[in-house]
Structure 1
Amino acid sequence: MKTSKTNINLSQVYDLDDHLWLEETIKLLKNHQLDQLDVEHLIEELESLSRRDKAKVASLLQQIIIHCLMLQYWTNEYQYNNNHWQGEILTFRDQLNRLLTTNLNNYLLDELQNLYQTASKITAKKMGQDISLFPSQCPYRLEQLLDENWWPIQP
């Protein structure tokens, strides 16, 4: 598919220079030259962008859960590390809240239990404890995990 101004075959450009491909695709979209788009690679890029966004927000939420679990359950380290853990939670919350859209929020709601399962395994390993220390179901609601004023209470 060629652009009228530059006579570039976008499909071939994609394999050679992804930045040029992106610039040319943006120009075509802005000019409403939809018939000249490299649709196959555009779909591939949009799917990749979606996966990347989901992975990023999932990673941030997982880090929030890990630090909430440490804050709540790692009692013998609490005195030395609670300020650090709270700082990490605030940092991850800020980063996550900046990225969230309605769709990504819904994705996190759907994935919360899976993220909790992995986070609890990681936290148990960090603490040198058995995973049975933690509830089997996520004890936190997504709204709590995102709320800068909410903190878990020690059992």
Structure 2
Amino acid sequence: MDPKHLYERDFYAWTQQQAQFLRERAWEKLDLPHLIEEMESLGRQQRQELRNRLGVLVGHLLKWEYQPQARSVSWLLTLQVQRQEVLDLLEENPSLRPYLPEAISKSYLRALQLALEETKLPRKTFPKTCPYSPEQILDSQFYPGEPSGLLEEED
């Protein structure tokens, strides 16, 4: 089957076929336009993954800071897991690190929506832009707002 048609009919089969062509060095058989498109898409997916993780992480930092009476072990674990996921993503894709400030800025609306939904606090409670630096966001010791007894339980 023609690789271009396979791409449209059975994407998984197309990926396996393209991988086989690469292994065989059958350059003339490669579906280059779609292969280029998919390679670029993989890069965009990594950036999107970073923004998604940051949205959850920053959203929970906002909740932690602005609704201290509702802090929970669940929030703490979410902060820890999301920080580690972001750090892993940056370790696996070091060229994403310069994109981090832009990713934080772009993900702040998502973070804000999460905090608004879950805290039910008024919009004016929260800053218009992300109040945390990239270093703070990724720092496992950074928990904004007043100290919490939950952190002492961790030690």
Same-fold call, TM cutoff 0.5: yes
Secondary structure in 1 aligned to 2:140? coil
Shift in Å, 1:55: 1.8
Identity of aligned residues (%): 27
CA RMSD of the aligned region, Å?
2.1
Q: What is residue 93 of structure 1 aligned with on the other side?
A: 83
- Equivalent-residue separation in structure 2 for 1:32 and 1:146 (angstroms): 42
Q: What is residue 62 of structure 1 aligned with on the other side?
A: 55
Shift in Å, 1:86: 1.1
8 A contact 1:65–1:119 mirrored in 2? yes
Alignment of 1:1-155 (within 5 A): 8-78=1-71, 81=72, 83-100=73-90, 101-154=93-146
Moved beyond 4 Å, runs of 4+ = none
8 A contact 1:72–1:154 mirrored in 2? yes
What CA deviation, in whole Å up to 9, does each residue of 1:6-65 have, x standing for no partner?
xx5211221232222112211222333333210111122123222322222211111000
Higher relative CO (Cα under 8 Å, sequence separation at least 6) belongs to 2
8 A contact 2:56–2:111 mirrored in 1? yes
8 A contact 2:57–2:79 mirrored in 1? yes
The one-letter amino acid of 2:126's match is F
Change (3 A) 1:20 1:87: same
Q: Which runs of 5+ in 1 are unaligned?
A: 1-7
Change (3 A) 1:70 1:13: same
Q: How many residues align?
A: 145
8 A contact 1:58–1:115 mirrored in 2? yes
- Equivalent-residue separation in structure 2 for 1:127 and 1:35 (angstroms): 57
More off after superposition, 54-63 vs 26-35:
26-35
- Equivalent-residue separation in structure 2 for 1:71 and 1:34 (angstroms): 54
Q: Which runs of 5+ in 2 are unaligned?
A: 148-155
The one-letter amino acid of 1:146's match is L
